[in-house]
Amino acid sequence: MFTLELHSLLPNPMIIDYYSTKDTVLHRLHPVVKLVFSIAMVLTIVYLQTPRLILVLSVLVWIMFAIARLPLGRLLIWSAMPTFFVVSIVIFLPFIGYGWEYIFTVMIKGITAAWYMFLLILSTPTMSLGKYVSRVLPSWLSDAFLLSLRYIFYFFGETQKTFIAANSRQGEGIPWGKKIKLFGLMIVNLILKGYDKTEKVYVAMKSRGYTGRMRLVSDERFRVRDLAYLSLAIVIPLVLIYLEMVMVL
């Protein structure tokens, strides 16, 4: 039976909007500084090979979750989805000769990187972040980025509805072969629903004067606290990389 509430494993747009607009020290930082910090931490995670140093970054991100007054219990639930994807990758590594320490390191890397992305998304309004993304990326790519952030959660909600509907119609006595076939049909149905949703969004945007560029207005200014946070994005990676070099030597 498909009883798992998939939509509960990731924050939906309303939850993101609620937590990203809170008033904390972290929320008041400049969006670009928070973006640079998260990217710097993810790149550091990719570079590091020592599990203890990666765990330092894992502890750091949870401290920052607490500072931003984000829901720690919900964050543990939302961690299930990236954990599932990481496990689905590393589960086959023992069969091709990789040791358990390496597998553990890969798992910690993937999950910790996801936590830093959660920190960015849940502490920065989507439109504020999109304003600066649109200045760097081509218009079609920046708009796709913004819409993807909003509708990836719609996809999970539709997935849950499809699973519930299928479960209510197929019962429990259907052979596994047929269940797999039904699952494939559900995936096709979801893709068609996604296409239909995209078409409706495009028509709605065109009717409101969309010309190929989203014009976003915000009043964020670069302040001293932003400089301090930006310095952390430089100091923390350098210290951890130095410590790893010392351990290797």
pLDDT digits (tens, 9 = 90+) for 192-227: 776 677 677 777 877 877 666 656 555 667 788 899
pLDDT at 86: 87
Position with higher pLDDT, 216 vs 116? 116
- pLDDT of residue 144 exceeding 60: yes
pLDDT at 1: 42
pLDDT at 2: 41
Q: What is the value of pTM for the model shown? A: 0.73
pLDDT digits (tens, 9 = 90+) for 54-68: 999 999 999 999 999
pLDDT digits (tens, 9 = 90+) for 9-64: 666 667 888 898 898 999 999 888 998 999 999 999 999 989 999 999 999 999 99
Q: Which residues lie closer than 8 Å to 140 by C-beta, 6 or more apart?
A: 212
Residue 232, classed as helix, strand or coil, is helix
Q: What value does the mean pLDDT take over residues 178-194? A: 67
pLDDT at 151: 63
